[in-house]
Chain A
């Protein structure tokens, strides 16, 4: 199996509100009845879950096209590659035997086996598409739940390894690019209200990551006491509000700080086309204003989703697979600078 051919689907066709929303993702956590959760399971349990899902995927018409990838058999760099493409979670990347991924042909939807829970099923869409993502993954859940018995209680709903997921077992998250709110210094205040809405804000890399390149992942924290549709509707309306605030901030920057912002964009372009060593943190900081410059029409051939691909392609696993060898941090910095220099030097601009 050629891991390199597996790239996620969301970066390709642009979705709604692509200028602000990178992607939407909905995942469901499910466990099988009467089997110990993966963190505590022995080999026999893990294998039992794997086999049950394998059988199911083979037999169900709706799932037959799903591709099976044995994550345990992948090399570390391949697992890293899949995680950077948002195809597997960091949890699945780190774990050992009997970890399997079933991925649909469109790369929009997958079942991860023996992650923190027996099953983690997700749908990933480009732009702001929470409801379509929920519908797609619910369809998969319905097929799986028809054949496998889930651990479920009337009182607590779907029983998950971590009580923070119990109930719907659903986490919906949206990746946003908010340079306008950062530059106009409104972001701190927004981050402060997020937990009060039963939501959480994380950085580009998810759990415990810092906010890089003005990227923010916002997701629901509450999974109990509300239905999945209620959670999605609340998140959707919060995100729509953020998108309009971001648009307003960008408009006001264009009016009041035109030259300051232009300067930031073109300086970023200057560094990207000339630097010889680049850390991924610096690259994030530079690509953020470039993303803003797309909207201002400075880089006509560049689209938001192509830039999203650059962000994925400049990460360690991708660089090492492209170069065909393991690299030190310095070597990666050099390779990253070379990669960004080549894509940006070829780019037609209005400079």
Chain B
């Protein structure tokens, strides 16, 4: 029998939460425990009843084995050296300790960001500052700064775009 797993813990899901993302309805599934974090008004029941979910969870456990559990435990113990906060603490309070936490916990945070915002990327204002007729020197300086930040952030996708834009501007000059 096909069933969905909880987005947060992987147990069989009894509830569905739908959000519109860029015009598409995207479903998120939750077990009874994690569904309780939502208002009942926001949720729809799935075909799996809580009783059935419990039964399935038993089957699932033996199937998945120890590996997934170990991985999850490692994530929980991940710690930011700047502020000393462990990922486990973030799970409890939903608060990060400092801006470096975003880098240290990047991987496990992706799911939370996607669930909450439907994306994991900030939308930038256009690459080139929208100052009508800004002198190329001003634009170049702004782009150069952003390139440095992008490289520091290890955001190479953006860095490539910025580098191309800088080349283009220099070429035109």
| Interface set of A (CB-CB < 8 Å, partner B) | 31, 33-37, 39-40, 116, 151-157, 159, 161-164, 166-168, 188, 191-192, 195-198, 221-227, 230
Given contacts A37-B96, A156-B122, A159-B102, contact A167 B117 (CB under 8 A): yes
Within 8 A of A (CB), among B25-46: 25, 38-39, 41-42
Interface size grouping (class) on chain B? 35 or more
Q: Which of B's residues lie within 8 Å of A, judged by CB?
A: 17-20, 25, 38-39, 41-42, 82-85, 93-99, 102, 109, 112-113, 116-125, 146, 149-150, 153, 155, 158
With a CB–CB cut-off of 8 A, which chain A residues contact B39?
A: 191, 195
A155 touches B155 (CB 8 A): yes
Query: Which secondary structure dominates where chain A touches chain B?
Result: loop
- Complex: chain B residue closest to A158, CB-CB: B122
Are B98 and A40 neighbours in the complex by a CB distance under 8 Å?
A: yes
How long is the Cα–Cα vector from A153 to B124 in the complex, in angstroms?
Answer: 11
Q: Is the CB of A227 within 8 A of B125?
A: yes
**Does B82 contact A155, Cβ atoms closer than 8 Å?**
no
Distance (Å) between the CB of B160 and the closest chain A CB?
12
Complex contact B41–A157 (CB within 8 A): no
B96 touches A154 (CB 8 A): no
**Extra 12 A-B pairs, beta carbons < 8 Å, given A164-B116, A166-B102, A198-B20:** A36-B82, A36-B83, A37-B96, A159-B99, A166-B122, A195-B19, A198-B19, A198-B118, A221-B117, A224-B116, A224-B117, A224-B123
- Within 8 Å by CB of B121, from A37, A40, A222, A224, lies A224
Whether the Cβ atoms of A37 and B98 lie closer than 8 Å is yes
Distance (whole angstroms) from the CB of A206 to the closest CB of chain B: 14
Q: How far is the CA of A230 from the CA of B96 in the complex (A)?
A: 27
Residue of B102, B109, B150, B155 with most chain A CB atoms under a 10 A cut-off? B102
Closest chain A residue to B109, Cβ basis: A163
Whole-angstrom distance between the Cβ of B48 and the nearest chain A Cβ: 21
Provide the bound-state CA to CA distance between A230 and B149, in Å.
Answer: 25
For A34, what are the chain B residues with a Cβ–Cβ distance below 8 Å? Answer: 99
Contacts of A226 in B (CB 8 A): 123
Interface centre among A34, A163, A222 (most CB of B within 10 A): A163
